[in-house]
């Protein structure tokens, strides 16, 4: 199920990142009192009145004095392209500026739902300062204060009212949904074509040539699949070369709908930080995953190259030690015959359900082999274990005191469960509850 997207747009230094952090409840965006300071993590998730949505902060472009209007226009265009609802942010303290009018003109032509938020309304006097923003033509301005957390209920009520409903996927339960993620020019489109055995996707050496995210259903050896191909950035001039990070949002939306995520890495270029961010989202979303190292045929190799590259992936992606690694070449077809069988395997692990009595036998054996350590004279006691859900496999342990579960012992139990049931390519989750919570 794909969540709708809300973007925050406005000229530099109106407090977009502060508002973004308030809404998602985390400090992902860097906040500093300099225009254009927001970097890197410009996306997140939030929920209001049981409605989930993605947030995108369009402050991620470096601003220089002679480039301000061009950068503002780029931000607004990106928001228009990606968002279902746009929060247009202005500044009560500074008042209405020509740059605000520039943003308003772009947004007004977009026909997207707009919520006008006036930031820095820190006291009653500032409420009067919101009235001049009626002239922008977006209806009643909503006064908020990022610094003091005022007005956010009204703002989010207005946003949620304009959001489209979440759309359910139309595919049957037996279809494996596969998303290919990775930065531009790692060869995602070539891999899709190689898996399908035909040229269904535009392929070019120019990064960002995939035009749209296209669902491609196909069947192989009796198993139905749909490939959710993440679109590359649409380049419309030099300014787009600086905003590649916005393609992360598209990857997030594809991951959300997927059962299995293929993290595609370019063997020639190696691993960069953005690869970790995107893979991390797949992990956090609880998706089955595997690493596909493409263009392996183009790498000069000796007997240690594969082992060294494997170790490099393990070092960079410590949180995804469960994910298999496959070295392929979409161009030459090297090892591609192994890809779909591996997809099937991790998909089965992702949906595996363990009988309660068998699970408890494994947990009991693990405790006998290595009892939980004592903490201030008290020892954790595990009374009972059960699996409560799949995709990803999620287990609840009923214990005497959840606070006694040390992360290292939880990791030990995680490994014991994995080894006993061969959970390959999927995260597993373990929750603790007091024994009394069982009734």
Phi, psi of 422 (to 5 degrees): 55, 55
Cα(311)–Cα(307) distance, rounded to whole angstroms?
6
**DSSP run (H or E) holding 87:** strand 85-91
Burial class of residue 221, CB neighbours in 10 A (0-12, 13-18, 19+):
exposed
Distance, CA of 165 to CA of 186 (rounded, Å) = 33
Q: Is 233 annotated as a binding residue?
A: yes
Check the annotation: does 280 bind a ligand.
no
149 is in an annotated binding site: no
295 is in an annotated binding site: yes
What lies within 8 Å, CB to CB, of 82 at 6+ separation is 5, 7, 56, 246, 249, 250
Report the relative pairing of strands 374-375 and 378-379 from DSSP bridges. antiparallel
* 427 is annotated as contributing to ligand binding: no
Is residue 135 marked as binding?
A: no
List phi, psi (to 5°) of 173.
Answer: -65, -25
50 is in an annotated binding site: no
* 142 annotated among ligand-binding-site residues: no
Which residues pair with residue 106 across a beta bridge?
A: none
231 among the known binding-site residues?
yes
Instruction: Tell whether residue 182 is among the known ligand binding residues.
Output: yes
- Is 174 assigned a ligand-binding role in the annotation? no
C-alpha–C-alpha distance, residues 324 and 291, integer Å: 6
302 is in an annotated binding site: no
On whether 95 is known to bind a ligand per the annotation, the reply is no
Q: Report d(CA 382, CA 277) in Å as an integer.
A: 35
Q: Is 10 annotated as a binding residue?
A: yes
Q: Is 383 annotated as a binding residue?
A: no
3-state DSSP assignment of residue 363? helix
- Any known ligand binding at 57? yes
Is 258 annotated in a binding site? The answer is: no
The answer to whether 11 is annotated as binding is: yes
363 is in an annotated binding site: no
26 labeled binding residue: no
Element containing residue 18 per DSSP (H, E): helix 16-24
48 labeled binding residue: no
Please tell me whether 229 is known to bind a ligand.
yes
How far is residue 200 CA from its own chain's centroid?
26
Is 58 labelled as part of a ligand binding site? yes
Residue 185 assigned to a binding site: yes
Q: Is 14 annotated as a binding residue?
A: yes
Is 212 annotated as belonging to a binding site? no
Q: Residue 165 carries which DSSP code? A: P
- Residue 266 assigned to a binding site: no
60 is in an annotated binding site: yes
Q: For residue 114, what is the enclosing H or E element?
A: strand 114-119
Annotated binding site for GTP: 10-17, 57-61, 119-122, 182-189, 229-233, 294-297
Residue set of the binding site: 10-17, 57-61, 119-122, 182-189, 229-233, 294-297
């Amino acid at each position: 199920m794909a969540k709708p997207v809300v973007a925050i747009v406005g000229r530099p230094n109106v407090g977009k990142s502060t508002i973004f952090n308030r809404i998602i409840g985390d400090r992902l965006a860097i906040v500093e009192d300099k225009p254009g300071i927001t970097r890197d993590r410009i996306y997140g998730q939030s929920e209001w009145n049981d409605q989930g949505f993605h947030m995108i902060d369009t402050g991620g472009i470096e601003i220089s004095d002679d480039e301000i209007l061009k950068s503002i226009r780029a931000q607004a265009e990106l928001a228009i392209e990606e968002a279902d609802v746009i929060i247009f942010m202005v500044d009560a303290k500074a008042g209405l500026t020509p740059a605000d009018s520039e943003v308003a003109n772009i947004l007004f032509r977009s026909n997207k739902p707009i919520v006008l938020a006036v930031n820095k309304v820190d006291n009653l006097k500032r409420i009067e300062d919101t009235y001049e923003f009626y002239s922008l033509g977006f209806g009643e301005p909503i006064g908020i204060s990022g610094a003091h957390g005022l007005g956010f209920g009204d703002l989010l009520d207005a946003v949620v009212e304009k959001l489209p409903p979440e759309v359910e996927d139309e595919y049957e339960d037996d279809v494996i949904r596969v998303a290919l993620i990775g930065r531009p020019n790692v060869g995602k489109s070539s891999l899709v074509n190689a898996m399908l055995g035909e040229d269904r996707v535009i392929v070019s050496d120019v990064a960002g040539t995939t035009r749209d995210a296209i669902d491609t259903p196909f069947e192989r050896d009796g198993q139905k699949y749909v490939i959710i191909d993440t679109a590359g950035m649409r380049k419309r001039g030099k300014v787009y070369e600086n905003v590649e990070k916005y393609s992360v949002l598209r990857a997030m939306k594809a991951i959300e709908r997927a059962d299995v995520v293929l993290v595609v890495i370019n063997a020639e270029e190696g691993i960069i930080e953005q690869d970790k961010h995107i893979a991390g989202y797949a992990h956090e979303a609880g998706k089955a995953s595997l690493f596909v190292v493409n263009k392996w045929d183009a790498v000069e190799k000796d007997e240690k190259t594969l082992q060294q590259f494997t170790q490099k992936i393990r070092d960079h992606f410590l949180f995804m030690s469960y994910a298999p690694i496959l070295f392929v070449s979409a161009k030459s077809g090297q090892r591609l015959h192994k890809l779909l069988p591996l997809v099937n395997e991790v998909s089965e692990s992702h949906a595996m359900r363990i009988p309660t009595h068998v699970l408890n036998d494994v947990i009991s054996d693990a405790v006998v082999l290595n009892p939980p350590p004592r903490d201030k004279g008290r020892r954790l006691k595990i009374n009972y274990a059960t699996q409560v859900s799949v995709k990803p496999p999620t287990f609840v342990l009923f214990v005497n005191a959840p606070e006694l579960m040390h992360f290292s012992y939880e990791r030990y139990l995680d490994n014991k469960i994995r080894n006993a049931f061969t959970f390959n390519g999927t995260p597993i989750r373990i929750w603790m509850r007091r024994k009394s919570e069982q009734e």
